[in-house]
Structure 1
Amino acid sequence: MAWQQAAGTGPHQVRRRSAAAALLAAGLGAVLPGPAQAATVLRVLAWPGYADADFVAVFEKRHGVKVEITTVASDDVLRAKLASPGGPGFDLVAANTAEIARLVDQKMLTPLPVSNIPNTARQLPRFRQLQSIAGITAWGEVYAMPFTYSEMGLVYDRQQFSTPPDSVAVLWDPRWQGKVLAFDGSSHGFSLAAMHRGLAPFRIDPDRFSSLARDLVALRRNVRSFYSLPEESVELFRKHKVAVMHANYGQQQLKQLRDAGLDVGYVVPKEGALAWLDCWAITRRSTKVALAAEWINYMLDPALSREFTRRQGLANTLEEPPALSGDVPMGPIVWLEPVEDETRRAQLWQRIVAGDRPARF
């Protein structure tokens, strides 16, 4: 299911959404169905909000195909979906550069026909320099195309903080027990705990895992809840009068919360913030590479990119993102990298969120 904005779906919102859809279709040009391809189905694995129903409808009509969108709420789920041997599999996946690097290494992706994706010429210069983006090229081939990005900052309630929080330590502060939200994800969870301790987030020494697992048990005991989807975090934030949240979806969650009428601020803590660059890639299992390349080109269309940013609050790769008025990042941005042992992280994380005691780690 495509993500729906947390601000509501009443008649005014519906009219605005319909108007936006009409403008989007106009901006993308005349939409004429191609040759009849009733049996052709393009299967896409993506994050919430990346392929709203009206975006999909335009593409379907233009190419005379059906598009099936499957959304995921964590990298763990994304890996499981791609690894599943049953069913026809996916043609396209949206994933961050660390996940892309892992998929390339496992030979699960096919090189992109970049010459068939002309909208790449419209991207900002730093996103056209593909060889300089770690994880998306190998053996002289391009395996993924940048689409959107954000850092994972801290969202805080301005009514509860006299000054903005400046450290990830706030997530463990007992003063805010029961008023903290954190993301339910093994890789990011251990990286966050490592940064809290001043350690390298992606290369944790084996003898450090036990102490970091105990730190994450302490975090579990301090949080109101772990969330998966962005709209879930908005509902939890509002319902429980949350004070601070580690925002896995970054500025997307900031926009949703503000659209919902909440007075929230956003900072990058002094330890830094993990940051993701999500890209589109074509799986090796796909038999529809040409159509999949058309999808990537379509997602980089200027009209669609602008509408995506307007709806989601996330940056696109064609335009510089607008500055966030009144919010001053404090720490460095730490781009995601492959981790030392994703299986170990996932196994420990399952025990942590299930309620295992610290003495057992």
Structure 2
Amino acid sequence: MSITAKCSATVLTYFLTIICLATSGWVSAQETLRVLSWDGYADSEVVSAFQQRFDVAIELTLVTSDDDLWQKINGGNYDVFAVNTAELQRYIDQGLSRPISMTNIPNHARQLPRFQNLQAIPGLVRGNDTYAVPYTYSEMGLIYNRKLINTPPQSMSAMWDPAYRDRVLAFNASNHNFSIVGLLRGVSNPFRMTDPELKQAARELAKLRRNVLTFYATAEEATRLFVKYDIALIFGNYGTQQLKALREAGADIGYVIPREGALAWLDCWAITQNSRNPELAEKWINYTLEKSVSERLTQQHGLANTITAPENDNTQNQPIIWLEPILDPLARKTLWDRIISGEAPEAF
């Protein structure tokens, strides 16, 4: 046999051996963790470091809305996903998520006191099972203009103060606005308001319209309006992200959690029921709770993290109310459409 023929036979034998090993399971492909997340929660640096440490690959898919998240979980294959506590409930109800073994999340012990007792946060625990671990959050407090307001406001009711006519920015959303009025009126549960409570809240929101310059939709829009007009108060729907954007634009602002408490969203990591490797998913969750990884949320993306309190922060001991599922979102939306269309308070 010629040297060329021998070399060809050797190469062929090598490749056949590799194929046989692979099909026999002796050579395994690199493990892949399929992560479904919001923008900024798992940026390229965070993903790269995890891949190198655990010698795995990550398939990262971003979502743009709660509806988008729901569709992707129902129609795709993922291992771990980021979801807020209110939305989490339907994933548990439909058997789309699985309990997390907290013994595999030792970094939970490093989280701030308000995140230590998972039982105290509505929606995370069912029976003896924990379904999600907190990752990032935001209180929706009250932002005020230091140039126009000398004494920090103590209540969200300041938005109704006649002194601030046409100087208030409120958020264009039915769910939060009704819940705010529910808090102000002391209803038993601002997320499960009765029809009479909703109608009374609609009257109050129609009165608020007199003070509102406009109902904003994005943090960028609110920043632009604040800079252009003499805005006194903003309902801070986007929390710390919004504060960061305003301060970077040169705004002289303060931020308070009102005495009646502030609504707050809490995004958590959860594991899908059909996860191919829940143990690897738990390693991801634990990794994101490392101090350097969580702090990157704040430093790079303006998001609050659950490990370190913001600098000069005086809100950690203030009352916050984690979002819960709304009893009748359609009823709120119907009333809200009437409010922003200009109907008078007496119409409700």
Does the pair score TM above 0.5? Answer: yes
Say whether residues 1:42 and 2:34 are aligned partners: yes
The one-letter amino acid of 2:286's match is N
Across the two proteins, how many residue pairs are aligned to each other?
A: 317
Say whether residues 1:55 and 2:46 are aligned partners: yes
Map of 1:217 onto structure 2: 206
Does the 8 Å contact 1:35/1:64 carry over to 2?
no
Say whether residues 1:69 and 2:58 are aligned partners: no
Q: Distance in 2 between matches of 1:91 and 1:239?
A: 45
Does the 8 Å contact 2:172/2:217 carry over to 1?
yes
Say whether residues 1:339 and 2:326 are aligned partners: yes
Point out the more displaced range, 156-165 or 198-207: 198-207
Does the 8 Å contact 2:47/2:58 carry over to 1?
no
Say whether residues 1:230 and 2:213 are aligned partners: no
Query: Equivalent of 2:243, from 240, 254, 270?
Result: 254
1:128 is displaced (CA, Å) by 4.2
Map of 2:157 onto structure 1: 169
Q: Distance in 1 between matches of 2:274 and 2:166?
A: 45
Q: Distance in 2 between matches of 1:141 and 1:335?
A: 19
Q: Say if 1:111 and 1:86 are closer, same or farther in 2 by CA, change over 3 A.
A: closer
User: Among the aligned pairs, what percent are the same residue?
Assistant: 44
Say whether residues 1:123 and 2:116 are aligned partners: no
1:291 is displaced (CA, Å) by 4.6
Q: Distance in 2 between matches of 1:284 and 1:241?
A: 51
Does the 8 Å contact 1:150/1:251 carry over to 2?
yes
Instruction: For residues 157-213 of structure 1, give each alpha carbon's deviation from its aligned partner in whole angstroms, at most 9, with x where no partner exists.
Output: 111113222222222334433332222333211111222333342331222222212
Map of 1:197 onto structure 2: 185
1:70 is displaced (CA, Å) by 1.7
The one-letter amino acid of 1:63's match is V
Q: Distance in 1 between matches of 2:89 and 2:147?
A: 41
Q: Distance in 1 between matches of 2:315 and 2:277?
A: 44
Q: Distance in 2 between matches of 1:309 and 1:134?
A: 24
TM-score where L is the length of structure 1: 0.73
Does the 8 Å contact 2:118/2:124 carry over to 1?
yes
Say whether residues 1:295 and 2:284 are aligned partners: yes
Does the 8 Å contact 2:33/2:281 carry over to 1?
no
The one-letter amino acid of 1:334's match is I
TM-score where L is the length of structure 2: 0.75
Query: Equivalent of 1:276, from 265, 289, 301?
Result: 265
1:246 is displaced (CA, Å) by 0.9
Q: Say if 1:221 and 1:122 are closer, same or farther in 2 by CA, change over 3 A.
A: same
Map of 1:349 onto structure 2: 336
Instruction: For residues 192-236 of structure 1, give each alpha carbon's deviation from its aligned partner in whole angstroms, at most 9, with x where no partner exists.
Output: 122233334233122222221232233345323333443443233
> Which SS does the other structure have where 1:233 is aligned?
helix
Aligned residue runs from structure 1 range 82-231, under 5 A = 82=70, 87-88=75-76, 91-124=79-112, 127-200=115-188, 201-220=190-209, 222-231=211-220
Point out the more displaced range, 214-223 or 246-255: 214-223
Q: Distance in 2 between matches of 1:99 and 1:44?
A: 15
Q: Distance in 1 between matches of 2:77 and 2:342?
A: 35
Map of 1:323 onto structure 2: 312
The one-letter amino acid of 2:234's match is M
Q: Distance in 2 between matches of 1:81 and 1:220?
A: 33
Alignment RMSD (CA, Å): 3.4
Q: Say if 1:287 and 1:217 are closer, same or farther in 2 by CA, change over 3 A.
A: farther
Q: Say if 1:347 and 1:286 are closer, same or farther in 2 by CA, change over 3 A.
A: farther
Q: Distance in 1 between matches of 2:98 and 2:173?
A: 27
Point out the more displaced range, 296-305 or 343-352: 343-352
Structure label with greater radius of gyration = 2
Q: Distance in 1 between matches of 2:226 and 2:179?
A: 23
The one-letter amino acid of 1:333's match is I
> Which SS does the other structure have where 1:274 is aligned?
strand
Does the 8 Å contact 2:35/2:58 carry over to 1?
no
Does the 8 Å contact 1:42/1:67 carry over to 2?
yes
